[in-house]
Structure 1
Amino acid sequence: MNNQTQIVDALRKRGNKVTPQRLITIEVLLTMGQQHFSVEELFHGVKQRNPEVGMSTIYRTVQILEEMRLITKRNFDDGFARYELCEMDEKHWHHHLICLKCGRVIEMQDEYLEALEKEIEKKGFIIINHELKVYGYCSDCYANMEGEKFD
């Protein structure tokens, strides 16, 4: 499980500075949990705690945390880059169900793909990671689509 101490230790071990601004950024990031956030949303949360923190500090911190695989960038085909916090000991990310009507993103964790991975690895291919996005309609949108033609 990620916590501030683990992230700070990892940053120091990598040789990165741990400034007060970076600490606030990490604190805000940790309060977001598994929420999919944009850099702008993270910036807004940090600005509420310290109005003097600049956007460039947030971008640099996000870039470093992404390089360290502590956060990962997600693209849900809505024109925005989003990020989410990764567990430090997590081998694979969870998967996403994306509603084509409202844009809602539902996280999915399932064991089906682990079985598929094992079969693939038996064939001599070493999997480092994978990502799965499933497009369709959430139950709310589907219920309200009576008579509509599907994309």
Structure 2
Amino acid sequence: MNELSRYERQIKQAGLRLTAPRRIILRILEQSGDHPDAAEIFQRAAKMDARISLATVYRTMKVLEETGAVERHAFQGGPARFEQADREHHDHLIDIETGAVVEFTSPRIEELQRAIAEELGYEIVDHRLELYGRKMT
């Protein structure tokens, strides 16, 4: 089953209607290789259906976040950005000059975090790692 179908089921299980705007926004997020903000989602959605307003995007993103279909990121100094939830764990590096968000995974970082938590008597149940930087020249 494709990702869109899984998210459609999740929305229906939450007792919500799967409206055309919600379907379009889920499709945009599914096909997105970046972490769009609401304005970027609106621009992409408006190309698919001119009846979708920015207010519709904001309302839909709130609903999708509440159902757990999308994850909201409030990267420092920028607008909230979104991505589909329940993806494989990854961390983010944010370019402070361009705002680009780079996803990465590092087993070394994950192991170090686990070891630090263990030394302090904790077990990690969840975490987010955001690195902020600029391209080296």
- Over the matched positions of the two proteins, sequence identity in percent amounts to 29
Q: Is 1:6 aligned with 2:1? A: no
Question: In the alignment, residue 26 of structure 1 is paired with which amino acid?
Answer: L
TM-score (norm 1): 0.74
Query: Displacement, 1:102?
Result: 4.0
Query: Displacement, 1:61?
Result: 1.8
Aligned pair in 2 of structure 1 residues 121, 57: CA closer, same or farther (>3 Å)? farther
Q: Is 1:39 aligned with 2:38? A: yes
Please, which runs of 5 or more residues in structure 2 have no aligned partner? none
TM-score (norm 2): 0.80
Query: Displacement, 1:107?
Result: 1.9
Please, which runs of 5 or more residues in structure 1 have no aligned partner? 144-151
Partner residue, 1:107:
103
> 2-side partners of 1:73 and 1:51: how far apart?
25
Alignment of 1:1-151 (within 5 A): 3-32=3-32, 34-86=33-85, 88=86, 90=88, 92=89, 94-119=90-115, 120=117, 125-138=122-135, 142-143=136-137
Aligned pair in 2 of structure 1 residues 100, 23: CA closer, same or farther (>3 Å)? closer
State the structure with more CA Rg: 1
> 1-side partners of 2:76 and 2:2: how far apart?
28
In the TM superposition, structure 1's runs of 4+ consecutive aligned residues that sit over 6 Å from their partners are none
